[in-house]
Every structure is written in structure tokens, then in C-alpha cells.
Amino acid sequence: MKYHKPVLLQESVDGLAVKPDGVYVDVTFGGGGHSREILKRLGPEGRLIAFDQDRDALKNKIDDPRFLLIHQNFRMLRRYLRFYKYETVDGILADLGVSSYQFDVPERGFSIRFDSELDMRMDTDVDFSAKTVVNTYDQYKLRQILADYGELRNAAQLARAIVEAREENELRTTGQLRQALEKFLPPHRENRILAQVFQAIRIEVNQELESLKEFLLQTAEVLRPGGRLSVISYHSLEDRLVKRFMRSGLFEGEPEKDMYGRVSVPFKNIGRFIVPSEEEIEENNRARSAKLRIAERLDS
């Protein structure tokens, strides 16, 4: 099973400041690249717990007594850590978005490069797919997700085109969706617009931003003081949530001040954000939009 080299591998794991006897969590296991690097830095008493909602990722399970792989969305972080008797951990790593493997398998429906079923499910055990969104959402709701998640200025026109096309025939494939939007796809911007459309639908199908918020809030509860949170994001919607949370523990607004004008926040940022080197981008095109942020849990 082909998974590309993990993005910002050394930088993201360095950000965890791994202790040999510590307990760490990789909430986006995928091909296991980040997990293997963490395991290299752990001693015999160290532990690594990994999460992935994609059943295909389970085939990459690492045979190591220090390692546990949980087939769940990372929004279930706290529940499953407690189930396995881990109340707190020393570090958490997240590599957000779609894996190279998921993009490269045509039948998963994530990529604009293939004509395949409208799927886009990260968890193939659920029934809700891109086909559901495209064929059952009303025009207003389609416009909303295209505007909010795809950041498309002409979301209203695109939503109307989808609704008109599906009135003729159900849209079942990525090619049919592309055809429905054809008049809004000028040659010099076609791939860019389609990528934004696919991103919007994918985020909706997988409830990615809601899951990210739930996950981030739980990190403040399960990380020990001094524990590290290392998060790689790939688009502004994700990065904005991560940035705000690491700065204030909130997704909107500013933290409240006490009577002395002090604010209590759960994290402190470790340095500025990190982006891949030109060499890494040349080797791995997926890295071009990546941004790594690292924060440390403060004493409550």
C-alpha cells in the first residue's frame, strides 16, 4: 500500500520533545511514517497510541509491543485513552487532511484527476458520502458549504448548477459533477476551482472542522503540563482553528481576564509556525501547502 513520505516528519516529531519513557499519541496514523519516527525515539518503557478512522490504514499496523492502533476518528481521543487506562499523555501529533494514499486511489473519489464514484469518505464504514451531499442538499445548503469550506466567491452559481444538473439525472461520479460545473471552469482556473469544490464537499462529508474542534478541546484535557501538541495543517480553515486554539484555547473571540487583568490560557506557542523546505516540496508536492504549529501545555 503506497503512502508517500510524511510531511515535515523530523520537524513535527522534534516538536514533541519525545521522552524515552513517555506516552505519545499519533491521531492520524495513515501510513505510519510519523508513528515509526516517534517509536525510534522511545525507550522500552515508552508507549505510542495511534488513531485512524480509515480502515485501509489498519493494514499498516506496526508490530511493536509499545504500539497500539485504534480504529477511530480523533474526535474520540479522550474516550479511548481512558478506555485503555491513559488519563494523560506527554505529546500528541496530528497530520490533518487527506493522505497521499487516499488521493491516489481513484475509487475513493478524493481527487479531481480521476472519474470515479462520488465518495470522499475517510471512514468507509459510514453511509454518508459525497453523493449524498451533491444529490440531497438543497441549493442554499450547497451554496453555504461551497462558500464556507471551499471559499468560492461564485458559490451561489455553482450550487444552482449542481441542483439543475441533478434534476436531469442523479450525479453519481466525479466526472458528472465536473460536467455540471463546466461553464464555470475556465481553462486556466479549472483545476483550482474543482479542487475548492472537492475540498468543500469532502469537509462536509467527513465533518472535518467539527472533528478538529472537538479534538483540539480534548488535547487541553489529556496533555500533561509540559506536554506538546504538534499539528500539521494544509489549508487556511484548519490552520486558523489550530492557530486560535493554541493562542487562546478558543476558536472565536478572546479569553476573559480576571480582576487583575490576567488571562488563563491552556497552551504557549513554541516558536513560529514551520513550513517545508524547498527541497521537501520538490520531493513531495503535497507538502507545498503544509504548515506546522507546536504548542506546550501550561500548568492549569
Q: pLDDT of 44-99, one tens digit each?
A: 999 999 999 999 899 999 999 999 999 999 999 999 999 999 999 999 999 997 76
Among 185, 206, 227, residue at a domain's last position: 206
The reply to whether 121 falls in a domain is yes
- Split at pLDDT 50, 70, 90, the class of 12 is very high
Say whether both 163 and 188 belong to one domain.
yes
Q: Tell me the pLDDT of the chain averaged across its residues.
A: 92
The 10s digit of each residue's pLDDT in 236-272 is 999 999 999 999 999 987 777 766 767 789 999 999 9
Can you tell me the distance from the alpha carbon of 175 to that of 117, in angstroms, rounded to the nearest whole number? 9
Say whether both 213 and 87 belong to one domain.
yes
Say whether both 201 and 212 belong to one domain.
no
Among 137, 171, 206, residue at a domain's last position: 206
Query: Residue 43: which CATH number?
Result: 3.40.50.150
- Split at pLDDT 50, 70, 90, the class of 3 is low
The reply to whether 260 falls in a domain is yes
Query: Residue 131: which CATH number?
Result: 1.10.150.170
Say whether both 51 and 137 belong to one domain.
no
pLDDT at 1 > cutoff 60: no
The reply to whether 107 falls in a domain is no
Q: What is the mean pLDDT of residues 157-168?
A: 97
| Total tally of structural domains belonging to the chain | 2
Among 206, 227, 261, residue at a domain's last position: 206
Grid cell, residue 296, equals 506546550
Expressed as residue numbers, the domain containing 176 is: 112-206
pLDDT of residue 146: 98
Between the CA of residue 182 and those of 33, 81, 186, 189, what are the distances in Å? 38, 47, 8, 12
- Split at pLDDT 50, 70, 90, the class of 168 is very high
Say whether both 217 and 92 belong to one domain.
yes
- Split at pLDDT 50, 70, 90, the class of 173 is very high
Say whether both 20 and 145 belong to one domain.
no
